[in-house]
Amino acid sequence: MNSFSKYTWIGLTAARSNLAYFGEVASRGIFLFVILYIFLQLWRITYAQTDAEQLGGLTLAQMLWYLGITESIVLSSPQVALEVDEDVRTGALAVQLIRPLSYPLYRLWTTLGERTVRFGLNVAIASLVALLFVGTIPLTFRGILLFLAVLPLAFVLDFLATFLVGLGAFWLENTSGLMLIYSRLTMILGGMLIPLELLPENWQPILQALPFASILYGPARLFVHPDLSFAGELLMRQGVAIVVLTVLVALVYRTAVKRIHAHGG
């Protein structure tokens, strides 16, 4: 079995394993429904109060679809940092190292498999909520293709950041605090709660350049507002961020693995 098919198989197994616990995965949909309903109310009142047709270039319907996509991405995130943290703390990482596969790549493909199932379900629920309360928005085949091109890169980028946080377990007593800070930074700086266009104008160039926006704002914006040049810029930013984070992960992982002491038994 060559490397690619080996890791693809790992990803598929993770996806199938998630499908086996469909009820548990689906129960998370209740929270998605609640949060989207609250956001709908918040923005419905805001649009009515300001008497605006569009805010940040989005209509109310586009705003709810945008938030549906950002929430679906955030809520589909597997607990990568926690799992890596546990592998480090329990010593399970030493066992993984003797297997004929790369531990980071194994984690990456497992995450992608799990996340695909979770995101699929979340986006189905978010679409139902959006259709129920605000109806459809104009979607094009090209727009959906562009969205599908940037989404996996957003997942990879998020994986690299959370994997890095998990590796922190080699030096820290507990990485859950660090993970919480990362996820909250992604929420606010990535445009999960409010599109970047509605944030102060002088912040926007910095926020657009940060990797957080490439995970949430970029894909969601592209979904509701398909634009080829925006997609090109986003792919470029995602590519640069992935390269930088991959180098960082490789350096930290190499240093961390040297700290492993395995005992026989």
Partner 1 sequence: MFWGLISYLKLASTYIWLNLNAHLEYRGAFLTQVVAMIVNNLVWVTFWGLFFTRFPVLRGWTVQDVITLWAMAATGFGLAHTVFGNALQLTSLIVQGQLDVWMLYPRALLPHLLLGRMNATSWGDLLFGYGVYLFFVKPDAVHLALFTGLTVSVATLFVGFNVLIGSLSFYLGNSEGLTQQWRNAMLTFSTYPATLFEGTVKLLLYTLLPAGFVNYLPIEALRSLSWIHAVLAVAGSITVLLVGVYVFYQGLRRYSSGNLMQMRG
User: H or E segment at 236?
Assistant: helix 228-257
Locus of tokens 């810029």: 233
- Minimum Å distance from CB 195 to partner 1? 11
- Minimum Å distance from CB 30 to partner 1? 5
Smaller CB separation from partner 1, 3 or 27: 27
Structure tokens at 169: 């377990």
Find the distance separating the first CA and the last CA of the chain, reported in whole Å: 31
Is 21 a binding residue for partner 1 by CB under 8 A? The answer is no
Q: How far apart are CA 102 and CA 264, in angstroms?
A: 22
Summary count for the chain: helices (H), strands (E): 12, 0
> Binding pattern to partner 1, positions 80-119, x when CB under 8 A?
----------------------------------------
Residue 235: Cβ within 10 Å count: 16
Which residues between 143 and 202 bind partner 1 (CB under 8 A)?
A: 172-174, 176-178, 180-181, 184-185, 187-188, 193-194, 198-200
Among 46, 102, 127, 204, binds partner 1 (CB under 8 A): 46
- Minimum Å distance from CB 247 to partner 1? 26
Binding region for partner 1 (CB under 8 A) out of 24-32, 102-110, 224-232, 242-250: 24-32
Is 50 a binding residue for partner 1 by CB under 8 A? The answer is yes
CA angle 139, 140, 142 (to 5 degrees): 140
Structure tokens at 206: 């910095």
Residue 55 pairs in a beta bridge with 58
Is 12 a binding residue for partner 1 by CB under 8 A? The answer is no
Is 9 a binding residue for partner 1 by CB under 8 A? The answer is no
- Minimum Å distance from CB 44 to partner 1? 9
Among 3, 13, 27, 90, binds partner 1 (CB under 8 A): 27
- Residue 223 CA from chain centroid, whole number: 15
Among 19, 45, 92, 262, binds partner 1 (CB under 8 A): 45
- Minimum Å distance from CB 232 to partner 1? 28
SS3 track for 61-102: HHHHHHHHHHHHHHHCCCCHHHHHHHHHHHCHHHHHHCCCCC
Radius of gyration of the chain (CA): 20
Size of the site for partner 1 (CB under 8 A): 32
| Sign of the dihedral through C-alpha 99, 104, 105, 106 | positive
**In the complex, which residues of this chain contact partner 1 (CB under 8 A)?**
24, 27-28, 30-31, 34-35, 37-38, 41-42, 45-46, 49-50, 172-174, 176-178, 180-181, 184-185, 187-188, 193-194, 198-200
